[in-house]
Amino acid sequence: MEYGVAPLERLVEQLETLPGIGHKSAQRLAFYLLRQPEEKADKFVDAIREAREKIHECSVCCNLTDRELCPVCNAPARDPSVICVVEDPRDVAAFERTREYAGLYHVLHGTISPMDGIGPEQIRIRELLVRLTDERVREVIMATNPTVEGEATAMYIARLLQPFPLKVTRLAYGIPVGGDLEYADEVTLRRSLEGRNEL
Amino acid sequence: MEYGVAPLERLVEQLETLPGIGHKSAQRLAFYLLRQPEEKADKFVDAIREAREKIHECSVCCNLTDRELCPVCNAPARDPSVICVVEDPRDVAAFERTREYAGLYHVLHGTISPMDGIGPEQIRIRELLVRLTDERVREVIMATNPTVEGEATAMYIARLLQPFPLKVTRLAYGIPVGGDLEYADEVTLRRSLEGRNEL
């Protein structure tokens, strides 16, 4: 009952459920949305509705798309012999920004996390296995996050893939480019030593 | 064309227009909104629509409300002899949190700001003058922000009110409670000296 205006309280409440939005920010956003001209507010709401209606998972790689196939799976120039397995669609965008990777992706939409009740069936592992019947696939790069869950998921999938005649690789660990050694944690430093290359 | 998925790009674009939301946050919010169950997403969108449809300005004090009168103007216990003039509905909420003020409010919805093309006609000054025909009003407290625009607006309104038989006051300036003198700016310190009280 901060403002005593029920629709306003409900709007603030809804905005507060957004990740990274606290009470003060939610209030600011609510007043901003109320102040906008009709056309602008409609555009905003329509963008949410349209995105939710049209966007679904790519029938091959499970990345988000509004077509049958996502732009990567649909591009004839991509190399079908490599599949990079990531947790999240944002990771695909991150790899695409490198302009380095020409293979395909597979988006798991999460990691195995028994603590949160997420088992292997809740993420897109089955869909990955189906793709491996395509004999053009030669390598699967496990590109899950270097977190406990990401590692465990990478290990789990790597074991599952043992029967397949393909290479399973993992992203290199090491010091981040532009980072400061002083602030690197010991595990990262140890990994960067272990993985050292000749110059 | 970051994701190559037009409805997603449009959603991120719309979220980016929100105050305090940068590109990364907008992406995070977009994926969050896409991940939500139907019911939750509907609730979110409905809260925006409902708030925009039902909320308008109180016919007396211009605060936001979904009724004819806002909760303050509608409360019989409030003292009609004092009107506290603020810039924004959030300022009303801030004063209400003090549980100290029993008078009424008037919300200007902005300040006079010639740089932004906002003149006295663009804010609710006319509505304030109309209220002063009520002879119960004895005092108008100028509670605009202690900024250049807030000060100028307070001075402008104070001059306008000179013909009326009432007291026009301004909030006290001084050091914020719990603040550190070391970090107080000189103007604030000077004001807190000028306004010093006997103990």
**A66 near B CB under 8 A:** yes
| Chain A environment of B7 (Cβ under 8 Å) | 47, 50-51, 53-55, 66
Confidence band for A73, pLDDT divided at 50, 70 and 90: very high
Same domain, B50 and B69: no
Total domain count for chain B?
Answer: 2
pTM for the whole structure:
0.77
A146 with A81, same domain: the answer is yes
Q: Which of B16, B34, B54 is the last residue of a domain?
A: B54
Do residue B85 and residue B120 come from a single domain? yes
pLDDT band for B98, please (50, 70, 90 cuts). Answer: confident
B72 lies in the same domain as B129 = yes
Residue A5 — very low, low, confident or very high, per pLDDT cuts 50/70/90?
confident
Q: What digits encode the pLDDT tens for the residues B140-188?
A: 999 999 889 999 999 999 999 999 999 999 888 887 877 777 777 888 8
- Choose among B18, B31, B48: nearest Cβ to A45: B48
Q: Which residue among B19, B54, B64 places its CB closest to the CB of A32?
A: B19
Question: Does residue B1 lie in a domain region?
Answer: no
pLDDT at residue B1 tops 70 = no
- At residue A97, the pLDDT reads 86
Answer whether residue A1 shows pLDDT above 60. Answer: no
Q: Residues A168-196: what's their mean pLDDT?
A: 81
Give the per-residue pLDDT at A3.
73
**Sequence-ordered list of residues with C-beta below 8 angstroms from that of B184, at least 6 positions apart, any chain:** B175, B176, B192
Are both B83 and B19 inside the same structural domain?
A: no
Residues 6+ away with beta carbon under 8 Å from B130: none
Q: Are B90 and A30 in contact, with CB atoms under 8 Å apart?
A: no
Please indicate, yes or no, if residue A1 is contained in any of the structural domains.
no
> Predicted confidence band at B58 (pLDDT cuts at 50, 70, 90)?
very high
Give the pLDDT confidence score for residue B162 in this predicted structure.
92
CA distance linking residue A26 with residue A15, whole number of Å: 5
Same domain assignment for residues A90 and A131: yes
Q: How many residues does chain B have?
A: 199
Percentage, residues of chain A above pLDDT 90: 72
Q: Which of A45, A48, A66, A122 to substitute to test the interface with B, most B CBs within 10 Å? A: A48
Q: Between A183 and A36, whose confidence is greater? A: A36
Q: Considering the domain boundaries, does residue A59 fall inside one?
A: no
Give which of B41, B46, B40, B11 is closest to B25, Cα–Cα.
Answer: B11
Residues A159-177 pLDDT 10s: 999 999 999 998 888 878 7
Shared-domain flag, residues A104 and A83: yes
**What is the DSSP-derived secondary structure letter of residue A183?**
G
Mean pLDDT (whole number) for B68-87: 94
Please indicate if any CB of chain B lies within 8 Å of the CB of A37.
no
Query: pLDDT tier at A113 (50, 70, 90 boundaries)?
Result: very high
Q: Determine the residue of chain B that is closest to A97 in CA distance.
A: B2
Q: Quick one: pLDDT at residue A184?
A: 77
Q: B89 to chain A, minimum CA–CA distance in Å?
A: 9
pLDDT category at A190 given cuts 50, 70, 90 is confident
B18, A29: Cβ pair inside 8 Å? yes
Chain B environment of A89 (Cβ under 8 Å) = 3, 31
- Report CB contact under 8 Å: A51, B27: no
The H or E element spanning position B159 is helix B148-160
Residues of A in contact with B6 (CB under 8 A): 66
Q: Same domain for B108 and B149?
A: yes
pLDDT of residue B51: 94
Q: Indicate if A162 and A71 belong to the same structural domain.
A: yes
Instruction: Give the tens place of pLDDT for each residue, A16-66.
Output: 999 999 999 999 999 999 999 999 999 999 999 999 999 999 999 999 999
The predicted pLDDT at position A78 comes to: 95
Q: A49: domain CATH number? A: 1.10.8.420
Q: Residues of B with CB below 8 A from A107's CB?
A: none
- Does the residue B59 lie in any domain? no
Which tens digit of pLDDT belongs to each residue from A74-109? 999 999 999 999 999 989 988 888 888 899 999 999
Segments forming the whole domain that contains residue A141: 64-198
Q: How far is A6 from chain B (nearest CA, A)?
A: 8
Beta strands B56-57 and B64-65: pairing type? antiparallel
96-125 of B, contacting A, C-beta below 8 A? 96
Reported confidence tier of residue A71, pLDDT bands at 50, 70, 90: very high
In this structure, are B131 and B99 located in the same domain? yes
What are the residues whose beta carbons fall under 8 Å from the beta carbon of B101, sequence distance 6 or more? B84, B95
Q: Would you call B128 helix, strand, or coil by DSSP?
A: helix
